[in-house]
Amino acid sequence: MNDAIRLTDLRVRYGRVRALDGLSLAVARGEIYGFLGRNGAGKTTTLRVLMGIVGADGGTIELFGQPMKRVSVATKRNIGYVSQEQTYYPWMTPAQLGRFVAAFYPTWDREEYARLLRVLDVPPERRSGTLSGGTRTKLGLALALAPRPPLLLLDEPTSGLDPVARREFNDMVVSMAAERGTTVFLSSHLVDEVEGVATRVGIVQAGRTSIEGRVDELRDRVRRVRSQSQLEPPPGFARVRGDVWLADGALWSGAEWPEGTSVEPLPLEEIFLAFARTDAAVGAAA
């Protein structure tokens, strides 16, 4: 009941393509959840389901403890969304966009929007079509945050930004989430970005969640096992890919390894690469 998002066995098909194939995850209220996956893994579809843009073919959606078949217009008023491409009306200025969007949100905070534009350095009277990609992304963030939503969905928002702008954007998200207690669901394929921001991470592969947990927890569970001999995973361990194994944290500390075997912790990027290149069922089974 404390989850902001709970998706169970979510399924979405586009014709013959299974975009989501039994995806399950949970995001606690107030946390920043990093949603990692390769291109086409199902990240954007998941976010579109959460925004009610796409309907699910199966599974259950729970937002703020309310189960629903499809996210309703009323629920969307509690969600801020920044997409990977900002398709605003090019003839509208940020100020006009604010007035237009405000009409759809009863909780819209005009002063907060003006403040966000100032803080994010978005010129309010320039046409959005003439703004740079980074500024448009910041404009998207201002539009998403101005209604003070309890849930913020970010769909690879920084994919077109340079490293400096990306850092600024992420810092802004973190500080605002902390300040307001906003739940943030951040979808990305940039591991370092997620690692620096997220409190918990889920890795999606082929429409399913391969693994999820806190970053340190994942590091604790997934390790590289190097051995001079051909080793098979003992009971409780599973081979993710090659020499990357998955096990409960306690098993790693209690395990006895043959001589010449080294067990190394992995950075999140290595964990992501291992899970992103293998069958999602491995992680799910683990």
Partner 1 sequence: MSLPLLRKEAREHGPVLAATAVIGLVAMFTILGVAEDAGGRFVGLARFLLTLGPLIALVLANRLLVREYTGRTQFFLETLPIGRARVFATKWLLGCGLMLLTAWFAWAVALRSARRAEVLASADAFGVLECAAAYCVAVWSFAALAGMLGRYRYLAWGAIGLAALLTVNITGVPFFYLPIIRLLAQDVQMATALPETSAFVYALAFAAVCLVAAAALALVGSGAMASTLAQRMTARERAFALVALIAVGTISATLQPKPVQPPFAITRGERFEGRWTRVGVLPSGTLDAVSAQSLARAIADDSDALIDVLDLRAHPPVFVLAQQGLDRHVMQRAALRAEDGIVLKVAPNAPTENVRMLVAHSVVADATLGRAMKDDRHVLLDGLATYWPLRDDEAARERWWLRAAAIAEPQPDDYLTAWAETSERLGECESLALAFSVFDTLTQRLGRDATLESMKKIFVEPKDDVRVLFERRPATALASAGVDFSWLASAASAAREQARERHEAELARRPVLEAAVDWRNTPGRGIEIETTMSGAARYAAYYRVLSPWTTDAGEMPRLDVLGSSAVLPLSPSRNDRVLAVIEVDDEVLDCPVRVLAERLEFR
DSSP state string for 25-53: EEEETT-EEEEEE-TTSSHHHHHHHHTTS
- Least separation in angstroms between residue 48's CB and partner 1 is 8
Q: CA angle, corner 92, sides to 87 and 95, nearest 5?
A: 110
Taking CB under 8 A as the binding criterion, the range among 19-27, 96-104, 157-165, 271-279 that sits at the site for partner 1 is: 96-104
In three-state secondary structure terms, 257 is: coil
Burial group, residue 95, by CB count within 10 angstroms (0-12, 13-18, 19+): middle
Binding mask 226-245 toward partner 1 (x if CB under 8 A, else -) reads: --------------------
Burial group, residue 61, by CB count within 10 angstroms (0-12, 13-18, 19+): buried
The answer to whether 184 contacts partner 1 (rule: CB under 8 A) is no
User: Pick from 8, 9, 105, 236: which binds partner 1 (CB under 8 A)?
Assistant: 105
Measured between its terminal Cα atoms, the distance across the chain in Å is 25
Taking CB under 8 A as the binding criterion, the range among 76-84, 116-124, 168-176, 206-214 that sits at the site for partner 1 is: 76-84
Taking CB under 8 A as the binding criterion, the range among 25-33, 36-44, 93-101, 273-281 that sits at the site for partner 1 is: 93-101
Binding mask 5-24 toward partner 1 (x if CB under 8 A, else -) reads: ---------x----------
Distance of CA 21 to the CA centre of its chain: 17
Taking CB under 8 A as the binding criterion, the range among 59-67, 85-93, 182-190, 227-235 that sits at the site for partner 1 is: 85-93
The answer to whether 188 contacts partner 1 (rule: CB under 8 A) is no
Q: Which is nearer to partner 1, 64 or 105 (CB)?
A: 105
Q: Token pair of 252, please?
A: 């790693």
Q: CA–CA separation, 76 vs 49, rounded Å?
A: 11
The answer to whether 185 contacts partner 1 (rule: CB under 8 A) is no
The answer to whether 131 contacts partner 1 (rule: CB under 8 A) is no
Are the C-beta atoms of residues 138 and 164 closer than 8 Å to each other?
no
- Least separation in angstroms between residue 104's CB and partner 1 is 5
Q: Token pair of 54, please?
A: 């796409």
User: Pick from 104, 178, 216, 242: which binds partner 1 (CB under 8 A)?
Assistant: 104
User: Pick from 2, 40, 55, 264: which binds partner 1 (CB under 8 A)?
Assistant: 55
Strand ranges (DSSP E) for 69-174? Answer: 79-82, 151-155
- Least separation in angstroms between residue 116's CB and partner 1 is 17
Q: Which is nearer to partner 1, 86 or 135 (CB)?
A: 86
User: Pick from 51, 174, 231, 238: which binds partner 1 (CB under 8 A)?
Assistant: 51
Are the C-beta atoms of residues 196 and 267 closer than 8 Å to each other?
no
Q: CA–CA separation, 60 vs 166, rounded Å?
A: 33
Which chain residues interact with partner 1 by CB under 8 A? 14, 48, 51, 53-55, 73-74, 76-77, 81, 83, 85-91, 96, 100-101, 103-105
